[in-house]
Amino acid sequence: MRITVLTGAGISAESGIRTFRATDGLWEEHRIEDVATPEGFHRDPALVHRFYNLRRADAARAQPNAAHRALARLARHHQLTLITQNVDDLHERGGSPEVIHMHGSLLDALCAGCGHRWPASLVMRAPDPCPGCGKPLTRPDIVWFGEIPYHMERIWAAVEAAEIFAAIGTSGQVWPAAGLAQHARRAGARTVELNLAASAVAGDFAEHRTGPATEVVPAWVDALCG
Ligand code: APR
């Protein structure tokens, strides 16, 4: 069966990685305009690098959980397209063979000048020169607010081809990710939301499985894989 899954920060929460909009979320401590926009990076690149260096260290310490591993199992039984808004590598370390990172990855660095991309060092500093052009324009390879998410053609195709579309651990507050379920439903997919609580787009889903990802995702995968 053709299954397309979209994950958000909630699938990594039980691995100890903070989500964004919970009461103790990242956006409670940092202004999005300071650390997650091109303007913020241009204004104070050192602050932005400090923010992502901390997130990179958190992600490196975190371990994949039962939900990440369940999706790796799902890929062994069905034609799975796994799309994530997350920038950690827990899906890959949990065994998923192919992951579409629509908001980029903490593991990659990008040159704000020439567009060159290379594996990120654990600690990135503003004046780090780009290995491609040599200019001190190294930035995290993260899609910031106001920028265009990556791989959208592949994503729309996977959403339209899906027999089942599932969203796991995302609040449905950031577009275009938040619009994928409605698009899948219009294309004829069965839609299911797996989350601790109803998201902002819960009405786009025909089925809801409520609970922590490490419980509801393995149970959902068991039901699909027997
Ligand atoms: N199990 C399942 N779901 C959970 C769990 C859990 N243990 N813990 C939290 N959640 C759910 C919350 O109910 C919420 O719906 O995860 C979601 C987290 O929402 P956000 O913090 O908004 O994260 P996300 O939806 O991934 O944000 C999307 O916004 O800030 C940008 O680029 C950033 O990719 C991010 C995007």
- Atom number, ligand 1, closest to the C-alpha of residue 10: 16
CA of 126 to the centre of ligand 1 (A): 29
The domain made up of 1-17+63-103+149-226 is a member of CATH 3.40.50.1220: yes
- DSSP structure class, residue 58: H
**Residue located nearest, by CA, to atom 9 of ligand 1:** 10
- Topology alike, domains 1-17+63-103+149-226 and 18-61+106-142: no
pLDDT of residue 43: 95
- pLDDT tens string 75-115: 999 999 999 999 999 999 999 999 999 999 999 999 999 99
- Residue type at 131 in one-letter notation: P
Model ipTM? 0.99
Where residue 173 falls among pLDDT bands split at 50, 70, 90?
very high
d(CA 201, CA 169) in angstroms, rounded, equals 12
Where residue 24 falls among pLDDT bands split at 50, 70, 90?
confident
Question: Is 6:168 a contact under the CB 8 Å cutoff?
Answer: yes
Please report, for the chain, the start and end positions of each structural domain, with discontinuous segments joined by +: 1-17+63-103+149-226, 18-61+106-142
> Could you name the CATH architecture of 18-61+106-142?
2-Layer Sandwich (3.30)
Looking up tokens 């000048």 gives 113
Q: What is the pTM of this model?
A: 0.97
